Amino acid sequence: MENTALMGYEDNTETGRTFSYNYSTERQEEIKSIRQRYAPREESKMDQLRNLDKSTKNPGTVVSFSIGIVSSLLFGAGMACVMEWPTELFITGLALGVAGMVGMILSYPIYATITKKRRKKLAPQIIELSDELMK
């Protein structure tokens, strides 16, 4: 089917005649899909549930990734100090390396703790919303 437009004239008592332009069904669907992208969207209950579930994990993920990245950089700096300047910065490098290792080791437990607290805090809302959806 061709993308054609249907044109015609309609009578208007004030001006005499008006021009009318109607798109084909295929173009109407395209217009609707474009319009939906820009129209304000109401969040459904399922969307709210998904967002709440994501919000339980995201803070812990951000914090643990940040700690892990900084810790691995500290560890790398410590290794560099120990290998490049063994006489001058050995103790400093060792301290940086150990601090980096401790940070990397604690990264996951920190994630788990933050996520557990967020789940506990948001559990009533998530359970209420899921109960509404399952009815």
Task: Kindly list the domain boundaries of the chain, sorted by start residue.
Answer: 5-38, 45-134
d(CA 4, CA 17): 23
Q: Is pLDDT at 8 greater than 60 in this prediction? A: no
Q: What is the dihedral of CA 116, 121, 123, 125, to 10 degrees?
A: -150
Contact indicator for 100, 79 with CB cutoff of 8 Å: no
Buried residues in 76-103 as b, exposed as e (16+ CB within 10 A): ebbeebbeeeeeebeeebeebbebbeeb
- Which residue type sits at 104? M
d(CA 61, CA 73): 18
Confidence of residue 94 (pLDDT cuts 50, 70, 90): very high
Distances (CA, A) of 104 to 17, 45, 100, 115, 118: 77, 38, 6, 18, 22
Q: Which residue has the higher pLDDT, 80 or 26?
A: 80
Q: Is pLDDT at 3 greater than 50 in this prediction? A: no
Confidence of residue 102 (pLDDT cuts 50, 70, 90): very high
Q: Which residue has the higher pLDDT, 77 or 30?
A: 77
- Which residue type sits at 36? Q
Contact indicator for 22, 99 with CB cutoff of 8 Å: no
